[in-house]
A = this chain, B = another copy of it.
Amino acid sequence: MQENKLGFIGVGQLAQPMVKHLLDQGYEVLIHNRRQDPLEKLISKGAVYCQRPEDAVVEGGILFNCLPDDAALLSVFNAHGTIFSKLGDTGLHVSMATISPQASKIVHERHKTLGGNYCVATVMGRPDAVVKKMHFYITAGKSDQLDRVRPILQSISRGVFSLGEKPEIANAAKLSFNFLIASAIESMAEAFTFVRKHGVDVDQFYSMISETLLACPLYKNYGRAIIERQFYEPLFKMALGAKDMNLVSAAAKECQTPMRFASVLQDRFTASLAKGRDNYDWLGIALDVEEEAGIASERQG
C-alpha cells in the first residue's frame, strides 16, 4: 500500500519538525492540535489543519500521535471516539507520546475491540535533534505494521530500533532511557559540585571525563551545558522532566521494581517545581544540588 497521505494528532514542539520533514518528503499531512496558532508555519508549507482529532484520520491509513501525556491520549482516544472506526481493519495508529506503559496498553485494548492497528514509536532526541534528523525511534508492535511505518520513520530520522511485538515495551524503554539521562545529569551535578568545592577547575574535570570513559554525546553535551549554565533556554523543560520521572516511578511501582535513583530524582524534580523552575531546562536540577551545598548560583535578573 502506498501511504502518501498521513494524519498527525498532537503537533507540539517535538512533532513540528517531524511534520515538516514529512511535507519535505512529499507526504500530504493532516494535522490536529488543541491550539492552532503554533502550526501556521506548517500550514503555510501545505499541512492541512483539522479542527477535530477525528478529521485528521486518513481512513485505513496511518495516524501518528505525539500528545503530551496519558490524560491527553486517553481523552483523544476515548472509547466513544470515531477515530477507531475510521482507522478500521487496515488503519494504523503510531503513538510517539511519552506516556505510561499502562495507558499505552489501554489504548491498545481499545484498538483491538474498536478498530485500528496499534504500534508505538517513541522518540530519542530533543526538538533541536529532530530538526536535524539526528533523533532515533524506539518502536514496538506487530512486525507487519512496523514494516509499514519503518520506511517513513527512517526517512525523517537517523535510525529506528525495534524491540518486539507488545507496543507498550517501547514506552517502557523510552521511560528507562529518560531515566538514564536524568541520572547522568544528577550524577554530573553532584560530581561537579564536589570537585569544585575541592578547588578543581570544573572545565578541566569535564574534559577529563568526556575525553575518556564518558566520551559520548550525553556526557559531552549535557556536561558542557551544565558548566555553561544553560538552564534558562529550555531544550527540554523541567515540567516535562518531572512528568517523565513521575511516569518512571509509577511504572516502577507497577512492575514492582524499587528504583532508588529514580526516587532521588523524583524528590529533586519536585523541589525544582516547588522553587518555581517549571520553565527551566531539566538540567536546572543542578541548581538544586548547588543550593543544598550552600552555593547560591541562580543567575541575577
Q: Indicate if the CB atoms of A200 and B214 lie closer than 8 Å.
A: no
Report how many residues on chain A are interfacial, defined by Cβ distance under 8 Å.
76
Mask: chain A, 13-51; 1 = CB below 8 Å from B; 0 = not: 000000000000000000000000000000000000000
Is the C-beta of A117 less than 8 angstroms from some C-beta in chain B? Answer: no
Asked whether A267 and B274 contact (CB < 8 A) given A181-B213, A187-B184, A190-B179, the answer is: no
Nearest B residue to A295 by beta-carbon distance? Answer: B274
Q: Indicate if the CB atoms of A266 and B263 lie closer than 8 Å.
A: yes
Q: Which residues of B contact A106 (CB under 8 A)?
A: none
Main secondary structure of the interface of A (DSSP, over half): helix
Q: Which residues of B contact A288 (CB under 8 A)?
A: 292
Of A55-63, A107-115, A248-256, the one contacting chain B is A248-256
Q: Indicate if the CB atoms of B176 and A205 lie closer than 8 Å.
A: yes
Q: Indicate if the CB atoms of A161 and B207 lie closer than 8 Å.
A: yes
Of A88-96, A215-223, A227-235, the one contacting chain B is A215-223
Nearest B residue to A199 by beta-carbon distance? Answer: B169
Is the C-beta of A224 less than 8 angstroms from some C-beta in chain B? Answer: no
Q: Indicate if the CB atoms of A204 and B263 lie closer than 8 Å.
A: no
Nearest B residue to A192 by beta-carbon distance? Answer: B176
- Min Cβ gap A218→B in Å is 4
Q: Indicate if the CB atoms of A253 and B276 lie closer than 8 Å.
A: no
Q: Indicate if the CB atoms of B216 and A194 lie closer than 8 Å.
A: no
- Min Cβ gap A196→B in Å is 9
- Min Cβ gap A142→B in Å is 15
Asked whether A194 and B274 contact (CB < 8 A) given A169-B200, A200-B173, A213-B217, the answer is: no
Is the C-beta of A259 less than 8 angstroms from some C-beta in chain B? Answer: yes
Is the C-beta of A208 less than 8 angstroms from some C-beta in chain B? Answer: yes
Asked whether A270 and B256 contact (CB < 8 A) given A179-B194, A213-B124, A214-B218, the answer is: yes
Choose from B181, B191, B208 the contact partner of A179 (Cβ within 8 Å): B191
Is the C-beta of A195 less than 8 angstroms from some C-beta in chain B? Answer: yes
**29 A-B contacts (beta carbon < 8 Å):** A136-B208, A161-B207, A164-B199, A172-B200, A176-B194, A176-B200, A180-B191, A183-B187, A194-B252, A197-B256, A197-B257, A213-B216, A213-B218, A249-B266, A256-B270, A256-B293, A257-B274, A258-B266, A258-B268, A258-B270, A259-B267, A260-B264, A260-B268, A261-B261, A264-B264, A274-B293, A274-B294, A288-B292, A291-B291
What is the interface of chain A, defined by CB distance below 8 A to chain B? 101, 124, 136, 138, 161, 163-164, 166, 168-169, 172-173, 175-177, 179-181, 183-184, 186-188, 190-191, 193-195, 197-201, 204-205, 207-209, 212-219, 246, 248-249, 251-253, 255-264, 266-268, 270-271, 273-276, 288, 291-294
